[in-house]
Amino acid sequence: MTEDKDRHDSRPTATPEVALVTGGSSGIGFAMARELSQRGHEVLVVAERGVDDAVRQLARHTDARVTGLEADLALPAGVEAAAARARELRVRTFVLNAGVGVHGPFARTPLQDELRLVDLNVRSLVHLAHLVVPDLVASGAGRILVTSSIAATMPAPLFGTYAASKAFARSFAWSLRHELDGTGVTVTSVLPSATRTPFFRAAEMERTHIGRAPKASPAMVARQAIDALMEGRAEVATGLQAKAMVAIAALLPQPARSRFHGWFYAPGARPRSTRQT
C-alpha cells in the first residue's frame, strides 16, 4: 500500500496540454484563451498587436503558462511563424479565431480591405490548418475550434464578404471534421451571435442595427465554445439569440434571408431606452 502511495505521490505533475489561440489578444479570442488557461492549458496567444498586454492580463487570472506571438496572419509569413511556434510547443489544441469585418456597400468598400478580410478569415484558416493537421493526425490526438458566426447562416447585404467568409469557415470545419473522423482529431465550429467586443467599432458598424443591439458577453461565448471543443462536438451556436438566428435561417427561403439579415447591417436608430430626451 505504502509503496503504491509513494509511487503515486512522486509522479511528476502531468505536462499541461498546450493550446494556440489566434486573435487571442482581444474579445472572444481573449475570453477563450482565459477559459483554456483556467482549465489548466498552457496557452500561446497569436495576434497582430497587443499580445504582451494580453499575456500580462491572462497571467493574472491563472497559474498556467501563457506566451504570445505577434504575427500578421493575413500574410503567409505570419501563418508560417505561428505554425513553427506551435510545432516547438507541441500544440495539440488550436483555436482558429482571428477575424475582421468590412462593412458598407460593396461597390464602395476599399478592395484592399475586402481582400485582407479574405486573407485573414479564409486564407489563413486554410493555411494554418494545412500546416498543423498532419502533425495532429500523426500524433493521434488533437482538437480544432473554428470561429464561424451566425452570419454564416444567411447572406448579409452590406456585410457580404464577411458573411461568406464565415460560411466558408463553417463548411470547412464540418468537412474537415468528417475527414478526420477516427484519427483522434476533432473539429468544432462555434457560431456566436453579436458579442460585446471591439469588432463592431473596428468595422465602423456602431451606427447599424446590429451595432446598436444588445450583445452577448465574450465570457459566455467562450465558456460554451470551449465546452463544445472539449466534448468534441461538431458545432455550437452560443446563447439563445444565436440558436434563434440559426433556427430562423433554416426556415426562410434565400431571398427572405437576404432581406431579413440585411436589416441588421443597415444604419439603425438608437434603441429607445438609450436615446437622449
Ligand X SMILES: NC(=O)c1ccc[n+]([C@@H]2O[C@H](COP(=O)([O-])OP(=O)(O)OC[C@H]3O[C@@H](n4cnc5c(N)ncnc54)[C@H](OP(=O)(O)O)[C@@H]3O)[C@@H](O)[C@H]2O)c1
Positions touching ligand X (CB under 6 A) are 23, 25-29, 47-50, 72-74, 97-100, 120, 147, 149, 192, 194-195, 197-199, 202
Closer residue to ligand X in complex, CB, 70/184: 70
Measured CA to CA, the distance from residue 10 to residue 100 in angstroms comes to 48
Measured CA to CA, the distance from residue 34 to residue 43 in angstroms comes to 9
Closer residue to ligand X in complex, CB, 6/110: 110
> Smallest gap, in angstroms, from Cβ of residue 22 to ligand X?
6
Closer residue to ligand X in complex, CB, 74/229: 74
Closer residue to ligand X in complex, CB, 70/141: 70
Residue 276: how many CB atoms within 10 A of its CB? 4
DSSP per residue over 29-55, as a string? HHHHHHHHHHTT-EEEEEESS-HHHHH
C-alpha cell, 48: 497582430
Pick the catalytic residue from 94, 159, 162, 199. Answer: 162
Tell me the Ramachandran region of residue 84: left when phi exceeds 0, alpha when psi lies from -120 to 50, beta otherwise: alpha
Instruction: Residue 106: name the closest of 97, 98, 95, 117 by CA.
Output: 117
Q: Catalytic annotation on 162?
A: yes
Q: How many helices (H) and strands (E) does the chain have?
A: 12, 7
Residue 209: how many CB atoms within 10 A of its CB? 17
Q: Which residues are catalytic?
A: 162
